[in-house]
Amino acid sequence: MPYEPVLLARINKPDSGRLEGYRADGGYATVERVLKEKKPADVIAQVKDSGLRGRGGAGFPCGLKWTFLPKDHPGPIYLCVNADESEPCTYNNRILMEKDPHQVLEGIMLACYAIKSQKAFFYVRYEYGDAFRSLESAVNEMYAAGLLGKNILGSGFDLDIVLHRGAGAYICGEETGLIESLEGKRAWPRIKPPFPAIEGAFRKPTIVNNVETLACVTQIMTRGIDWFKSLGVPPDPKNPRDAGSYGPKLYTIAGHVEKPCCVELPMGVTVRDLVEKHGGGVWKGRKAKSVNPGGLSMGYVRCDAKLKDSDLTEYDIPLDFNGPGKVGCLGLGTAAVTVIDDQTSMIDVLHNTCQFFAHESCGQCTPCREGTGWMLKITDRLRRGLGRKEDLDILIDVGDRIGIMPGTTICGLADGAGWPVKTAIRKFRDEFEAAIKSGAKSKYAKSLAVAAH
């Protein structure tokens, strides 16, 4: 039986972004019921028990994060909505903001009620002009209808939502970098602890949640825990640290596919099914060589590499919070799947990746600032046919030594920069070594040389 979308159920309706249309489909009935019938602690308990994990990349349990706020704090307490969707090929938040903003805004209301916050800062990526205008219109409608401001729906609950356009930087997606930017400063991530739940925006307790996460809060409070847990993948009994991968997920498909799209499916769909059934397959009749399973920072899978003790390949891994990690990737990330066909040079792919991270490093931490720069220089040498065999080991060594995990940087951008380098070279070393041996320029470098003439 085909899955029926919930998060994307309304996006094709002509009035999907309007308050009138949202209310006609039952919108804001949930928040009205919750304000009348439930205490803030009840909302936290329901979200926690649902097993909802953050959809922004790290997959941290949402309800558990809410419990980290100080008990009986006099306030103010803030909610920051992270809509700085800057991971390459990721656009699931954008679709929600543009096409169904009220679903997200209702989730914000529910989250603010739960954490006793009277102000939410909605931090939107600067490049998302249409999304910002859609949200601005929706927020204005809510104020006019008495759904924001003082004494909402006669409940005694007060809430203001402040829209804030970001500064056009990838680092603003890191929650403390976002907070620094929100405060009008350079978006340099903060040393932790203290974590934002203790000392966040304007030095007050702050929860930072992703757009898709908050849309899921709306659905959990509307449909219940049993519905949410009926979708996705339960915890692995062999892994005591696995919290499960429950609920629906928005997957974006991009790169060398016939039909780039955003699709909603239960957590755990395989890469192969996602690409072949929902993305229309690899373009131009070609085959999939590699796939980036969740944004550039997650690394690469090799589609013809056999899985241990199985006839399946890495192309068949499930896209839940655990699947990509089993083949050496950093995790599920944003679930932005980017396909690379069998006629594309992995040297070009890796150079492009390193170019992105070197450009987006904020420069605060020396290992990240210098490491991303050196990885770019070395991959540039490789694509111009001037690489050495030892360059491959140097790249892997740099990738292993930068980031939070080896304990050398403040935020995880360096981990995200190193992971695609390590996975690309370890999984496609034969291709890199052959290119070095031949001394030939990569296809893209050749095309640049031709264009220059």
400-427 tens-digit pLDDT: 999 999 999 999 999 999 999 999 999 9
Q: What is the pLDDT of residue 440?
A: 83
Same domain for 391 and 426, yes or no, is yes
DSSP letter at 327 equals G
Q: In 3D, which of 287, 296, 274, 286 has the Cα closest to residue 350?
A: 296
The answer to whether residue 8 is domain-embedded is no
Residue 241 has pLDDT above 90, yes or no: no
What's 206's domain CATH number? 3.40.50.11540
Using the predicted structure, report yes or no on whether residue 446 has a pLDDT greater than 80. Answer: no
User: What distance in Å separates the CA atoms of residue 213 and residue 205, rounded to the nearest whole number?
Assistant: 19
- 32-41 contacts at long range (C-beta below 8 A, 24 or more positions apart): 32/153, 34/110, 34/113, 34/221, 35/113, 35/152, 35/153, 35/155, 35/157, 36/155, 40/113, 40/114, 40/115, 40/116
Tell whether 237 is covered by a domain: no
Residue after which a domain boundary falls, among 315, 341, 367: 341
Residue 379: per-residue pLDDT: 96
Is 10 a member of any domain? no
For residues 125 and 40, membership in a common domain is answered with yes
Give the integer Cα–Cα distance in Å for 20 and 182.
31
Is 240 among the domain residues? Answer: no
Q: Is pLDDT at 205 greater than 60 in this prediction?
A: yes
Residue with the two structure tokens 């659905």: 219
The stretch 190-208 carries a mean pLDDT of 96
CATH number at 281 reads 3.10.20.600
Q: What is the pLDDT of residue 58?
A: 84
What pLDDT does residue 237 have? 87
Interatomic CA distance for residues 352 and 336, integer angstroms: 17
| pLDDT interval class at 371 (50, 70, 90) | very high
Domain termination site, one of 341, 369, 390? 341
Express each pLDDT in 117-164 by its tens digit.
999 999 999 999 999 999 999 999 999 999 999 999 999 999 999 999
Same domain, 171 and 62: yes
Pairwise CA distance, residues 203 & 180, whole Å: 10
On whether both 273 and 403 belong to a single domain, the answer is no
Q: Please report which confidence band the pLDDT of residue 31 belongs to, taking 50, 70 and 90 as the band edges.
A: very high
Q: What is the mean pLDDT of residues 351-356?
A: 97
pLDDT one-digit tens code per residue, 301-335: 999 999 988 999 999 999 999 999 999 999 999 99
Residue 452: predicted pLDDT = 57
The answer to whether residue 98 scores a pLDDT higher than 80 is: yes
User: pLDDT band for position 450 (50/70/90)?
Assistant: low
- Among 230, 262, 296, the domain-final residue is 230
**Is residue 13 one of the residues assigned to a domain?**
no
Q: What is the pLDDT of residue 131?
A: 97
State which residues form the domain around 364: 346-452
Residue 284 confidence (pLDDT): 96
In this structure, the answer to whether residues 220 and 88 fall within a common structural domain is yes
Same domain, 331 and 355: no
Q: Are 304 and 353 in a shared domain?
A: no
Q: Is 81 part of a structural domain of the chain?
A: yes
- Residues 390 and 384 sit within 8 Å (Cβ to Cβ): no
170 Cβ contact list (under 8 Å, min separation 6):
86, 87, 356, 360, 413
pLDDT, residue 448, reads 65
pTM (2 d.p.): 0.94
147 and 121 co-located in one domain: yes
pLDDT at 445: 74
Q: What percent of the chain has pLDDT over 90?
A: 92
Spacing of C-alpha 12 from chain mean position: 23
Q: Identify the CATH number of the domain in which residue 429 sits.
A: 1.20.1440.230
Share of the chain above pLDDT 70, in %: 98
**Cα–Cα distances in angstroms (integers) from residue 126 to residues 140, 164, 169, 170, 438, in the given order:** 20, 9, 9, 11, 44
Instruction: Compute φ and ψ for 259, nearest 5 degrees.
Output: -135, 80
Do 447 and 381 share a structural domain?
yes
Would you report the helix, strand and coil content of the chain in percent, each value rounded to 5? 45, 15, 40
Residues 334 and 224 in one domain: no
- 46, 39 in Cβ contact below 8 A? no
Say if residue 444's pLDDT is above 80. Answer: no
The average confidence (pLDDT) of the chain is 95
Q: Are both 24 and 124 inside the same structural domain?
A: yes
Query: Which DSSP string corresponds to 288-302?
Result: EEEEESSSGGG--EE
Number of domains in the chain: 3
Q: Sorting pLDDT into bands at 50, 70 and 90, what band is 282?
A: very high
Within-domain flag for 242: no
Nearest partner of 337 among 395, 380, 277, judged by Cα: 277
Q: What is the pLDDT of residue 449?
A: 61
Question: Do 280 and 360 belong to one domain?
Answer: no
Is 243 part of a structural domain of the chain?
A: no
- Three-state DSSP at 406 gives coil
